[in-house]
Structure 1
Amino acid sequence: MHALELSILLHRALEARVDHLAGLLADPAWQQDPEGLHQVRVGSRRLRSVLDLVRPELYPGFRRQGRRLRELTRALGLTRELDVHSAWLERLAVPGLATGSALEHALEVLEAKRGKARRAMARDLEGLSLKRLPDLLKVPSLPDPFLPGNLAADVWDALDPRLEAAFSPLPGLLEREDPPALHAARIRVKRFRYALEVLGAAFEAPPEARLRQLKELQTALGEHHDLAMLEELLQDLYEGLAARSRARLASGTLELLAYVGEARLGAYERFRIAAAGMPLAAFRTALREGLGLPGEGNP
Structure 2
Amino acid sequence: MKQKLCLHGLEVKNQAQLLNLAKRLLPGSTVKVKIKEKYFNDNDMYKYRLTRFTPENIDGVRLYCAWGTLLVSDKLLAIADIIIEFECHNAEAAKAVDGLLQKLLASKTKFVLEEPDFSQRLDQLRGCFDQKQLAAYDADSAMSLLYCHLPWQVYYVSKLWQEVLSRGPERSLMRQLRVKLRRLRSLLTLCKPLLPEEEAVHWQGVLKARTNLLGDVREYDVALQICARLQRSREQAEVVLPQLTALLTQLRGTAAAKALRGLRLNRLTLELAQLLLWLYSAPAPEKEPALAEFLSRRFGNWYDKLLELPEKYPDLHNMEQLHRIRIKLKRFRYALQSVPELAPEARLLRSLKYLQDMLGLLHDDYINTLMVERLVAANPKIKELRYEAALFSGWEQAKADAALEALPQQWEAFSSQLTEWKNKNL
Do Structure 1 and Structure 2 share a fold, with TM-score over 0.5?
yes
Hey, what does 1:168 align to over in structure 2? 308
Question: In structure 1, which of residues 156, 168, 187 is the aligned counterpart of residue 296 of structure 2?
Answer: 156
Quick one: distance in 1 between partners of 2:152 and 2:204? 16
Quick one: distance in 1 between partners of 2:267 and 2:351? 36
Cα distance, 1:127 vs structure 2: 10
Normalized per residue, which structure has more strand? 2
Quick one: distance in 2 between partners of 1:127 and 1:76? 16
Hey, what does 1:186 align to over in structure 2? 326
Q: 1:144 to 1:32 in 2, by over 3 A?
A: closer
Cα distance, 1:92 vs structure 2: 0.6
Hey, what does 2:419 align to over in structure 1? 284
Hey, what does 1:137 align to over in structure 2? 276
Quick one: distance in 1 between partners of 2:366 and 2:221? 15
Question: In structure 2, which of residues 138, 141, 153 is the aligned counterpart of residue 17 of structure 1?
Answer: 153
Q: 1:22 to 1:164 in 2, by over 3 A?
A: same
Structure 2 unaligned runs (5+)? Answer: 1-138
Cα distance, 1:142 vs structure 2: 3.4
Quick one: distance in 2 between partners of 1:126 and 1:137? 19
Question: In structure 1, which of residues 26, 36, 39 is the aligned counterpart of residue 176 of structure 2?
Answer: 39
Question: In structure 1, which of residues 72, 81, 84 is the aligned counterpart of residue 219 of structure 2?
Answer: 81
Question: In structure 2, which of residues 396, 420, 424 is the aligned counterpart of residue 260 of structure 1?
Answer: 396
Quick one: distance in 2 between partners of 1:142 and 1:175? 43
Hey, what does 1:6 align to over in structure 2? 142
Cα distance, 1:64 vs structure 2: 5.6
Hey, what does 1:104 align to over in structure 2? 242
Normalized per residue, which structure has more helix? 1
Quick one: distance in 2 between partners of 1:177 and 1:141? 44
Quick one: distance in 2 between partners of 1:182 and 1:85? 20
Quick one: distance in 1 between partners of 2:239 and 2:313? 37
TM-score by length of 1: 0.79
Equivalent pair of 1:83/1:114 in contact (CA under 8 Å): yes
Quick one: distance in 1 between partners of 2:332 and 2:307? 9
Q: What are the within-5 Å matches in structure 2 for residues 233-248 of structure 1?
A: 233-239=371-377, 244=381, 246=383, 248=384
Quick one: distance in 2 between partners of 1:171 and 1:50? 26
Equivalent pair of 1:196/1:211 in contact (CA under 8 Å): no
Equivalent pair of 2:195/2:282 in contact (CA under 8 Å): no
Hey, what does 1:207 align to over in structure 2? 345
Quick one: distance in 1 between partners of 2:261 and 2:285? 42
**Structure label with greater radius of gyration:** 2
Equivalent pair of 1:156/1:288 in contact (CA under 8 Å): no
Quick one: distance in 2 between partners of 1:269 and 1:175? 13
| Runs of 4+ deviating beyond 6 Å | 171-175
Hey, what does 2:187 align to over in structure 1? 50
Question: In structure 1, which of residues 214, 227, 232 is the aligned counterpart of residue 370 of structure 2?
Answer: 232
Deviations 1:238-274 (A, max 9, x none): 4456x5582x542343233222322322333454442
Q: 1:136 to 1:221 in 2, by over 3 A?
A: same
Quick one: distance in 1 between partners of 2:353 and 2:262? 30
Quick one: distance in 1 between partners of 2:358 and 2:168? 26
Equivalent pair of 2:316/2:404 in contact (CA under 8 Å): no
Equivalent pair of 2:329/2:352 in contact (CA under 8 Å): yes
Instruction: Tell me the number of residue pairs that the alignment of Structure 1 and Structure 2 aligns.
Output: 281
Quick one: distance in 1 between partners of 2:393 and 2:177? 31
Question: In structure 2, which of residues 211, 218, 228 is the aligned counterpart of residue 90 of structure 1?
Answer: 228
Q: 1:128 to 1:258 in 2, by over 3 A?
A: farther
Larger RCO (CA within 8 A; separation ≥ 6): 1
Cα distance, 1:158 vs structure 2: 0.6
Q: 1:123 to 1:97 in 2, by over 3 A?
A: same
Equivalent pair of 1:62/1:136 in contact (CA under 8 Å): no
TM-score by length of 2: 0.58
